[in-house]
Amino acid sequence: MRPGTALSIRDLSFTYPDGTEVLKGIDLDVDRGERVALLGPNGAGKTTLLLHLIGILGGHGGRINVAGLDLDDTSLAEVRRRVGLVFQDPDDQLFMPSVSEDVAFGPANYGVSGEALQHRVGDALERVGMGSAGPRAPHHLSGGERRRVAVATVLAMEPEILVLDEPSSNLDPLGRRRLAEVLNRLDITLILVTHDLPYALQLCRRAVILNEGRVAADGPTPSIMGDPSVMAVNQLELPPGFDPGLVIRRQAVDPD
């Protein structure tokens, strides 16, 4: 694996017990600090790939390396700490009586305690703009606030890679914008799995399209979305009136 690589996947394949072949020799490298949108139609294998990254699925061929650590039975716990997955539904992640207890749950189970645990909880909540929410009950928060607290529960584990599954789903425009502002501020390797193509364009410079279990396209997000043939063959559609060319021209003027 190259120095500076956060994630390396080689020849990853997977077939479900019913005989459905979902992943067919996936090769993918993600550099440290890179932001990658993982796109593709329903059934392309995106969720199956995510479940491999945290070791829920596996054993059917291929290799996954996270920050220099090969994923296997002996490294599973550490890889799960290094790859933080934020689920599509924050209610799958928030189950404690208070926000601070939810954020503390992960690191506490890894042996962090006392002032170190309090610092992790406070820092994670500050990073998502929820610094004063610790005493609140999660079910009293808005949908956007719960989504940001779910991100904080993962950040408290100090992961190498942050993976988000459909983070903008069911958010109103304000919640969607505030979450994007949080994610843009984070200094972390990010993988965004989404059908929300404008959100992917806003957050990720690179896009990888999965289709029929293979990597069908990999390149700058504006270029991929600005290519009608690539979009059509991979069953991806931008919202009516949305012009990715504006982003292409803006990034040409300001590449940073």
pLDDT in tens, 155-176: 999 999 999 999 999 999 999 9
pLDDT in tens, 126-135: 999 999 999 9
Residue 240 belongs to some domain of the structure: yes
- Domain of 229: which CATH number? 3.40.50.300
Query: What is the model's pLDDT at position 2?
Result: 62
Average pLDDT, the chain: 91
- Whether residue 82 is contained in a domain is answered as yes
- Which of 166, 148, 138, 62 lies closest to 71 in space, CA to CA? 62
Render pLDDT for 106-115 as a digit per residue (tens, 0 to 9): 999 999 999 9
Residue type at 73 in one-letter notation: D
Query: Domain containing 193: what range?
Result: 5-93+160-253
What pLDDT was estimated at residue 243?
75
Q: Out of 121-130, 147-156, 233-242, which region has the weakest mean confidence (pLDDT)?
A: 233-242
Nearest partner of 128 among 205, 186, 211, 199, judged by Cα: 186
Average pLDDT over residues 83-106: 94
The per-residue pLDDT for 58 is 79
In a domain, 83, yes or no: yes
The C-alpha atoms of residue 122 and residue 8 are separated, in whole angstroms, by 32
Q: Is residue 104 part of a domain?
A: no
Residue 113 falls inside a structural domain: no
- For the chain, list the strands marked E by DSSP: 5-15, 21-31, 35-39, 63-66, 69-70, 83-86, 161-165, 189-193, 206-211, 214-220
User: Quick one: what percent of the chain has pLDDT higher than 70?
Assistant: 94
For residue 37, pLDDT over 80 is answered with yes
CA end-to-end span of the chain: 27
User: What is the pLDDT, as a whole number, of residue 67?
Assistant: 85
In a domain, 194, yes or no: yes
* CA angle (120, 146, 190) in 5-degree steps: 65
pLDDT tens digits, one per residue of 180-216: 999 999 999 999 999 999 999 999 999 999 999 999 9
Mean pLDDT of 48-67: 88
Residue 44 confidence (pLDDT):
92
